[in-house]
Amino acid sequence: SGSPVTITITGAGGQIGYALLFRIASGAMLGPDTSVRLKLLEIPQGLGAAEGAALELQDAAFPLLDSVDVTDDAGRAFDGANLGLLVGARPRGPGMERADLLEANGGIFGPQGAAINAGAADDVRIVVVGNPANTNALIAAAHAPDVPRDRFTALTRLDHNRALGQLSEALDAPVGEISRVAIWGNHSATQFPDVSHATVRGRPVPEVLDEEMGPDAARTWLSDVFIPRVAQRGAEIIRVRGSSSVASAASATIDHVRDWVHGTDGAWTSAAVVSTGEYGVPEGLICSYPVTGADGTWHVVPGLEPDAFAAQRIAASVEELVAERDAVRALGLL
Ligand code: NDP
């Protein structure tokens, strides 16, 4: 394996971090030929958990693991970073106003953006997992003026994978037989999981659903069952499991980075990327789109024609992104 790739993971002492680190070190993210140098960033209260994870990484004796460095200094953590997985965020506490949440996260993602700007490698790529992910990515990007905008992304791959899982069950087909699913908009309850272009074993999903359920029942299933179940899956996991999703969130993060770096060979997936105005989304917003990965870049799938239902759902989610952007702008965080 060539020279190691430097990967900074924030909130590395948390639940998702714990699930993520071992898969990265095993080669699941960058492949069996790429060794990795891990830099774990935590706040002081999280350092013990991150240091414990570092000890366990040593004990796992991964041949691809070059080194592990634990720090609470963002400058040190992002120095030389090729990849930044921004997981640590301020969770919404009981009674917390949205403005307080955005402000608390501004205090995290602004300085991290500045540290990325100052010290990361020229090819740095960032994915924000910590919520509100799209807007946190926007804040980090705004503090990294020398880094190309398209290197800042937010995770909607978990929503995408959840949509695949639900369709797989409904259509009684393995996920590998389903293509062209898409998540549009914000990583939030307003997101739009879109199957209008999806295919199963090469056949249009809407056609198969109509055939199996009848057109009216299919339409109702999509709007009243499928979409809310995907958008509210996080709450369902908390209800059933007793705590939030962790391994699936880590797995989606691995998928996102792997497909960004290695490409998707033409297959669609979903990622929140900076809009350059595609599909009427205001330029500069970090918005989820159907994308393909090629040459180390995300490409928004061009030329789709959302129907009236889709256009209205996309617009509603984009409106929320605009409101979040305006709120952080008013707080002076952009
Ligand atoms: P988790 O590791 O479970 O979650 C981390 C973040 O990921 C949360 O903001 C969470 O958002 C978000 N997230 C996104 N998608 C999902 C999903 N599908 N399921 C669950 N979470 C999701 O949280 P922990 O509290 O265990 O760990 C967070 C760590 O981050 C702590 O160790 C803390 O010390 C650290 N931290 C580090 C910072 C830094 O490095 N500067 C700054 C702030 C915190 P949501 O809240 O909406 O669930």
Q: Are residues 195 and 109 in the same domain?
A: no
| Å from CA of 133 to ligand 1 middle | 11
The full length of the chain comes to 334
Report the C-alpha gap between 270 and 181 in whole angstroms: 8
Of 138, 154, 170, the last residue of a domain is 154
246 lines ligand 1 (CB under 6 A): yes
Single out the residue of 171, 168, 169, 173 nearest to residue 212, CA to CA: 171
Is 28 among the domain residues?
A: yes
Q: What is the CATH number of the domain that holds 279?
A: 3.90.110.10
> Which atom in ligand 1 lies closest to the alpha carbon of residue 248?
18
Q: Are residues 276 and 310 in the same domain?
A: yes
What is the rounded average pLDDT of the residues 183-200?
A: 97
> Which atom in ligand 1 lies closest to the alpha carbon of residue 74?
41
Domain count for the chain, please give it.
Answer: 2
Q: Is 130 assigned a ligand-binding role in the annotation?
A: yes
| Å from CA of 42 to ligand 1 middle | 11
Q: Is 131 assigned a ligand-binding role in the annotation?
A: yes
Q: What is the CATH number of the domain that holds 18?
A: 3.40.50.720
Is 214 among the domain residues?
A: yes
Q: Are residues 43 and 138 in the same domain?
A: yes
Neighbours of 233 (CB within 10 A): 20
Is 192 among the domain residues?
A: yes
Q: Are residues 147 and 262 in the same domain?
A: no
Pick from 38, 43, 324 the residue to mutate for probing ligand 1's pocket: most ligand atoms within 8 Å of its CB.
43
Is 331 among the domain residues?
A: no
Predicted confidence at residue 94, as pLDDT, reads 83
Residue type, 261: V
127 lines ligand 1 (CB under 6 A): no
Q: Are residues 15 and 93 in the same domain?
A: yes
Is 334 among the domain residues?
A: no
DSSP labels, 272-311: EEE-SSGGGPPTT-EEEEEEEEETTEEEEPPS----HHHH
Nearest CA to ligand 1 atom 13: 130
Residue 132 has pLDDT above 80, yes or no: yes
Structural domain containing residue 313: 157-325
Predicted confidence at residue 95, as pLDDT, reads 83
Of 128, 154, 180, the last residue of a domain is 154
Q: Are residues 144 and 232 in the same domain?
A: no
- φ, ψ for residue 152 (rounded to 5)? -105, 125
Share of the chain above pLDDT 90, in %: 95
What is the rounded average pLDDT of the residues 131-154?
A: 98
Q: Are residues 218 and 311 in the same domain?
A: yes
Judge if the upstream peptide bond of residue 91 is cis by omega within 30 degrees of 0.
no
Predicted confidence at residue 163, as pLDDT, reads 98
50 lines ligand 1 (CB under 6 A): no
- 288 beta partners: 185, 272
Which residues make Cβ contacts (< 8 Å) with residue 64, sequence separation at least 6?
A: 1, 25, 26, 27, 32, 34, 35, 36
Report the C-alpha gap between 34 and 24 in whole angstroms: 10
Residue 44 tokens read as 């002081």
232 lines ligand 1 (CB under 6 A): no
pLDDT tens track for 288-309? 999 999 999 999 999 999 999 9
Nearest CA to ligand 1 atom 32: 14
Q: Are residues 130 and 261 in the same domain?
A: no
| Å from CA of 91 to ligand 1 middle | 7
Q: Rounded mean pLDDT of the chain? A: 97
12 lines ligand 1 (CB under 6 A): no
pLDDT tens track for 143-181? 999 999 999 999 999 999 999 999 999 999 999 999 999
Is residue 177 within 8 A of residue 200, CB to CB? The reply is yes
Is 211 among the domain residues?
A: yes
Nearest CA to ligand 1 atom 27: 14
pLDDT tens track for 218-269? 999 999 999 999 999 999 999 999 999 999 999 999 999 999 999 999 999 9
Report the C-alpha gap between 34 and 101 in whole angstroms: 37
Q: Are residues 183 and 134 in the same domain?
A: no
Q: Are residues 94 and 186 in the same domain?
A: no
159 lines ligand 1 (CB under 6 A): no
Of 126, 154, 182, the last residue of a domain is 154
pLDDT band at 92 (very low <50, low <70, confident <90, very high): confident
* ipTM passes above 0.90: yes
Residue 1 has pLDDT above 80, yes or no: no
Is 245 among the domain residues?
A: yes
88 lines ligand 1 (CB under 6 A): yes
Give the long-range contacts of residues 163-172, CB within 8 A, separation 24 or more: 163/193, 163/195, 163/226, 163/230, 166/226, 166/229, 166/230, 167/195, 167/198, 167/200, 167/205, 167/226, 170/209, 170/221, 170/226, 171/200, 171/205, 171/208, 171/209, 171/212
Is 332 among the domain residues?
A: no
Q: Are residues 188 and 116 in the same domain?
A: no
43 lines ligand 1 (CB under 6 A): yes
Residue type, 113: G
Place of tokens 């960032």: 126
> Which atom in ligand 1 lies closest to the alpha carbon of residue 16?
2
Nearest CA to ligand 1 atom 46: 91
Q: Are residues 163 and 144 in the same domain?
A: no
> Which atom in ligand 1 lies closest to the alpha carbon of residue 45?
34
Give catalytic residue positions.
187
The secondary element (H helix, E strand) that includes residue 210 is helix 205-213
- Taking the CA atoms of residue 300, residue 303, residue 306 and residue 312 in that order, the dihedral angle to the nearest 10 degrees is 60
